[in-house]
Amino acid sequence: MKVIALITLLTFSIISAMPNLKMIEEINQMETTWVAGENPRFTNQELSQIKILLGSLETPEHLKLPEKHMLAAENLPDNFDLREAYPKCESLKEVRDQSNCGSCWAFGAVEAMSDRICIASGQTLQTRISAEDLLSCCGACGFGCNGGYPSAAWSYFKGTGLVTGGLYGQNETCLPYAFKPCDHHVIGPYGPCGGDEYPTPKCVKTCNKDYVAHSWSADKHKASSAYSVPRDEQKIMTEIFTHGSVEVSFTVYEDFINYKSGVYQHKKGSALGGHAVKCIGWGVENGTKYWLIVNSWNEGWGDKGLFKILRGKNECGIEGGVVAGIPIIA
């Protein structure tokens, strides 16, 4: 019986792997702008587990941010990377990990907020805004680990403010993330994420005991404004060039999970859900324009945690949901 069970399990694994391997092969045989590759853990993973990570929800009308009135800058460079423009901003060099929680909407926001604080301070403040605080305490932002609204995250930053907080175990910040990093769709150093979505952490309005720099209330950072950026390539570039990282949302399709390098554009598979990430620049690769994006699935996924996606065509809706704000620098 054990032998039969083992054969059945192996057969099921092979069958489960075939569609993914076939998709990778088909993509790499196309005349396209990106390279797909096998992620061993994803090969035998149900798509329902992938959907756990996709927590950017369509924003209700009453939560939408006002569109910023702006002019597009002239003579912007063909290639621009905030990491190169602001080399002293440590947050720009980081790839965070949302773990097994649909908190991408919170991560894309706090990553961009942290970058903007550093840039606005002349690269002096190395602040990390807390994904934990936003995820657990912003009731109007959505449903925590079950998804949320990027626009509401920026409204909360403006109206209520957010404390500092880094990754799991980074207790030099007020409220670090509650969940350990884990390996998304790859075999890596952290260990597998597990099968079930984590529950949303409880809202705790005190800093961790090792953090003595400020009280909870004194540690809050706020923004003077929160807004959406027009769906216009040049205006989005102008916003990034002028103020720093922005949060963007897009639709994830099955083929995106297998991204390895190049400029992604959807080729195969069905839609899985909405995802929010941080955009830190743009460029041109082999004649193809792209946005430079930081994902929140740690550095083991994609191109060291980053990816490029087609620019100027609203690929997968990437240019239709850009939000940001201006932090207050004390």
Give yes or no: 184 in active site: no
pLDDT at 187: 60
Tens digits of residue pLDDT in 187-227: 666 666 666 678 999 999 999 999 988 899 999 999 999 99
H/E stretch holding 293: strand 288-294
User: What pTM value is reported for the model?
Assistant: 0.90
Helix axes 104-120 and 233-243, enclosed angle (nearest 10): 60
Buried b or exposed e, range 282-292, using 16+ CB within 10 angstroms: bbeeeebbbbb
pLDDT at 4: 36
Give yes or no: 145 in active site: no
Tens digits of residue pLDDT in 52-78: 899 999 999 999 999 999 999 999 999
Q: Tell me which of 20, 243, 275, 279 is the catalytic residue.
A: 275
pLDDT at 5: 35
pLDDT at 323: 98
Whichever domain contains 111, its CATH number is 3.90.70.10
Count of the separate structural domains present in the chain: 1
Tens digits of residue pLDDT in 14-27: 333 345 788 888 99
Question: What residue has token string 């740690």?
Answer: 298
pLDDT at 13: 34
The span from the CA of 229 to the CA of 256, in Å, is: 25
User: Which residues neighbour 177 within 8 Å (Cβ) at sequence distance 6 or greater?
Assistant: 96, 99, 130, 131, 132, 165, 166, 167, 168
pLDDT at 6: 33
pLDDT at 185: 55
Quote the Cα angle for 122-124-130, to 5°. Answer: 110
pLDDT at 21: 80
Q: Residue 240: which of 299, 304, 293, 284 has the closest Cα?
A: 293
pLDDT at 169: 86
pLDDT at 16: 38
Residue range of the domain that includes 225: 2-327
Give yes or no: 104 in active site: yes
Q: Tell me which of 89, 101, 104, 182 is the catalytic residue.
A: 104
Cα distances (Å, whole numbers) of residue 295 to 123, 134, 153, 217, 257: 23, 18, 17, 30, 12
Q: Tell me which of 184, 295, 298, 316 is the catalytic residue.
A: 295
- The overall average pLDDT reported for the chain is 89
pLDDT, averaged in runs of 10, over the chain (330 residues): 34 40 87 82 64 94 97 96 98 93 97 98 98 97 97 98 92 92 63 73 95 92 98 98 98 94 96 97 98 93 94 98 95
Helix axes 150-159 and 104-120, enclosed angle (nearest 10): 50
pLDDT at 299: 87
